[in-house]
Chains A and B, each alone.
Chain A
Amino acid sequence: MSEKFEPNVVAFLCNWCSYAGADLAGTSRIEYPPNLHVIRVMCSGRVNPLFIVNALQQGADGVLVSGCHPGDCHYMEGNFLARRRFALMRELLNFVGVDESRFNMSWVSASEGAKWKDVVTGVVNNLREAGAFTEFPRKKIDW
């Protein structure tokens, strides 16, 4: 491939920590790759693990779920519940041969604008290596 592959990443961010952290990265004008697009949810506990499968089907090359650090959840327990669900979903995806780089999870607090940049950059760089997701994206029929 002569042209560098640019992955498309869908990210689910909790409103209180990670979304606020990403806002802070913005306010602090911290630059990072434009490949990642955010869906705001109130809590990482809202993210149904099947959203990950769906995003991969719908054309995402990778997915990120980000929530508050353990103990900081605005709703006390949501990130703990999410951690369990995604620990299993991650293993399942891995088991059917989906590259590990395609599903990512992070804890980013409202004060970690710099960490947010690192997370995005890391995820995007890994996916640039991994290339496009070709295993089971939905075929789009465009008439």
Chain B
Amino acid sequence: MSSKPKIGVYICHCGINIAKTVDVEELTRYAVKLPNVRVARDYSYMCSDPGQLMIREDIRKNGLNRVVVASCSPRMHELTFRKALVEAGLNPYYLEIANIREHCSWVHKDKQEATAKAKKLLQAAVAKVRFLEPLQEKEVDVEASALIIGGGIAGIQASLDIANAGFKVYLVEKTPSIGGRMSQLDKTFPTLDCSACILTPKMVDAASHPNITLLTYSQVESITGYVGNFQVKVRKKARYVDFSKCTGCGLCAEECRLADRVKSEFNMGIGNRSAIYLPFPQAVPAKYTVDPHSCLFLTRGKCGKSPKCVEACPAGAVDFEQKDEIVEFKTGTVIVATGFDVFDAARKPEYGYSDYDNVLTGLEMERLISSSGPTGGKLVLGKGDGEYVPKEIAFIKCVGSRDKSTGNEYCSRVCCMYTAKLAHLVKDKLPEANVRIYYMDVRAFGKGFEEFYDRVRREGVRYIRGNPSEIFKRNGKLVIMVEDTLTAKPLEDEVDMVVLAVGLEPRRDAREVIDLLRLSQSSDRFFLEAHPKLAPVDTATEGVYLAGCAQGPKDIPDTVAQAKGAASSALVLLSSGKVKVQAQISWVNEATCRGCGYCVEICPYTAIELVSVNKMGHEVNVARVNEALCKGCGACAAGCLSGSVQQKSFMDSQILPQIAALGGKS
């Protein structure tokens, strides 16, 4: 039991912010008379050094053991004053703040009324502080490793940063190769760097880094535990290729009975691959994978007399006996870099994406125009003998972005510039082609964007403001119905090809990640950051960070910047090796706990469990709080029927006196 309360009350004028509306002298005279108050003082700026010194000296000289500060919101200076208590040798949780600025002097005009209210708020704070108990801030060790989910540029960058700082990284990628969306791009705006040229060195670095364990073709099955101590289970899907034997020579793919007959995901379905495949030539790891959904042997149990890939492989690496493997490890932090999916253009049926061959999405165009793409970079339409070069090419922007009818109100932030880039590339390859872009607005906000937009226009790309209403086919040509809203003229534009600048959407399997980590989604369905401005890479789950388009649409530089931000946040934890856990957490009085488990069910963090204890020879269940998991919301305390669960600093015995003080007439 702590000693008898000796309370010091400190009333801040906040310049005139408080003193103008609240009679601080009167308040000070009132405070001295409150029970257990030893000293009450007022000062112009309590948060200043002299103000804090006043508190520290009183604690030392007058033996104060509780402090009430009547000042601004505790959300502002609670930590400041806690530090002052610590410096004076007092437990920092012996502090209570009466908010007489934001909740009083700033919102009321009448000095008498405001002073009366301030008295009550102060009285409530004094009533509570008497019952506060000292709390200890505990620390738990941080496992010196990070889990990165998603092997795109965000995940790769974050992995490299953390690994270079000397910590172990587990990089988990769902597909057979890292590289992500960036590997599918041809050039990058606005500098026109070759995407692969700048990405592949990083992919190779990540794969060869001694601190990085690459888990491709793998999915996280479960994550339990808490900041500093996550237990992770990863399913390594069977590749049916012995990783250690495969040399990546590609003979298997050449011999495959389905060679060039399976749609290539990497090429967005406009090129083909084999059933045993490398997603793209620069794939990392450069190891082949058997696609279980198309492989004849795996789907039908039979592939001729024997699978040709097995025969073709000189290293004997193909192994149809392979099974999924579960890998388990511990990590201190998690970075979610799961990226995005592109908008499904079929959801805008008026643009005929499902009906007409020559209506492509931006990403398909990207593959078509890429020198590593199915046509080797030749911009041609049709197949075989019917191959021809398009002359009239139109782009339509904001397909699936800024469009309430598709449920996507947001701007995808990259389409304006990738459209400009693709238009430039078209002009580069086909100088004779007529290129126009239908747009609502042009948002060229980034570094070098406006200049690039200007350049593209000077190259002869026409920008026509209008949102096309329909695309149909007439005489073998695509006809775009649109109103030029600058001249208010309806147009029927006949073209050879239409590129839909589809927007970015959350991954369709985002739900799985949410369930793994208890993440939240913002209204645009991307993962929700802890604070939109001040904690843009953090999540509500401590130790879990966001990077890249999983958090919202962004371009490559922003993605890399955020990945570096997430990595540095993770490194703060990893390098300190310790993490402080909330002190104002829940606590169970096991003597009165009836073991009903209400709190266990209520807790959103699974921080409470029922444990069996021996009470006088009987095995009975009682609730117990895992101090590292508890976030201190107190929902369990309000749900406990016997009052056995209490939230420290917000206990019933501390709140009831507050209610009594506020209910009474002052």
* Interface, chain A (partner B; CB < 8 A): 8, 10, 15, 19-20, 22-23, 25-27, 29-32, 34, 37-43, 45-49, 51, 54-55, 57-60, 71, 74-78, 81-82, 85, 117, 140
Contacts and interface: CB of A to CB of B under 8 A. Distances in A.
Contacts of B638: 45-49, 81-82, 85
Contacts of B120: 37
B447 interface: no
A48 B652 contact: yes
B511 interface: no
Contact of A77 (B108, B114, B604): B604
Given A29-B106, A29-B107, A42-B647, A58 B664 contact: yes
8 contacts: A8-B662, A19-B75, A34-B104, A40-B74, A41-B634, A48-B638, A75-B604, A140-B664
Interface stretch (B95-103, B131-139, B298-306, B391-399): B95-103
Q: Which of B74, B604, B633, B656 has the most CB of A within 10 A?
A: B633
Given A26-B73, A42-B584, A76 B639 contact: no
Contacts of A49: 638
A61 B2 CA distance: 35
Contacts of A40: 74, 99
B121 interface: yes
A34 B102 CA distance: 12
B70 to A, nearest CB: 13
B152 interface: no
A51 B655 contact: yes
A57 B664 CA distance: 10
A139 B193 CA distance: 80
A67 to B, nearest CB: 11
Contacts of B106: 26-27, 29
Interface of B: 73-76, 99, 101-104, 106-110, 113-114, 116-117, 120-121, 124, 518, 520, 540, 584, 602, 604-605, 631-635, 637-639, 647, 650, 652, 655-656, 658-660, 662-665
Contacts of A81: 602, 635, 638-639
Interface SS of A by simple majority: mixed
Contact of A51 (B102, B602, B659, B664): B659
Contacts of A46: 633-635, 637-638, 647, 650
A31 B635 contact: no
Contacts of B650: 41-42, 46
B101 A26 contact: yes
A39 B662 contact: yes
The dominant DSSP class at the B interface is helix
A58 B633 contact: no
B594 to A, nearest CB: 17
Contacts of B632: 42
Contacts of B76: 23
A46 B638 CA distance: 5
A77 B99 CA distance: 27
Contacts of A15: 75
A58 B107 contact: no
Closest 9 CB pairs of A and B: A26-B102, A46-B634, A58-B663, A45-B635, A59-B663, A75-B633, A26-B106, A43-B633, A23-B102
Given A29-B106, A38-B99, A60 B663 contact: yes
A78 B635 CA distance: 6
Contacts of B75: 15, 19-20, 23
* Chain B CB within 10 Å, residue with most, of A20, A32, A34, A71: A34
A27 to B, nearest CB: 6
A65 to B, nearest CB: 11
Nearest to A31: B107
Contact of B665 (A27, A29, A41, A59): A59
A23 B518 CA distance: 29
A25 B146 CA distance: 41
Given A39-B655, A42-B647, A27 B584 contact: no
A60 B664 CA distance: 8
Contacts of B639: 81, 85
Centre residue among B605, B632, B634 by max chain A CB count within 10 A: B634
A27 B633 CA distance: 26
B37 to A, nearest CB: 19
A23 B117 CA distance: 16
A25 B107 contact: yes
Contacts of B662: 8, 10, 37, 39, 55, 58, 60
B319 to A, nearest CB: 44
A57 B663 CA distance: 8
Contacts of A55: 659, 662-663
Contacts of B660: 58
A71 B520 contact: yes
A34 B148 CA distance: 51
Contact of A34 (B101, B113, B518, B659): B113
B646 to A, nearest CB: 10
Given A26-B102, A39-B659, 14 more contacts: A10-B662, A10-B663, A22-B102, A32-B108, A37-B117, A37-B121, A38-B121, A42-B633, A42-B647, A46-B635, A49-B638, A55-B659, A60-B663, A81-B638
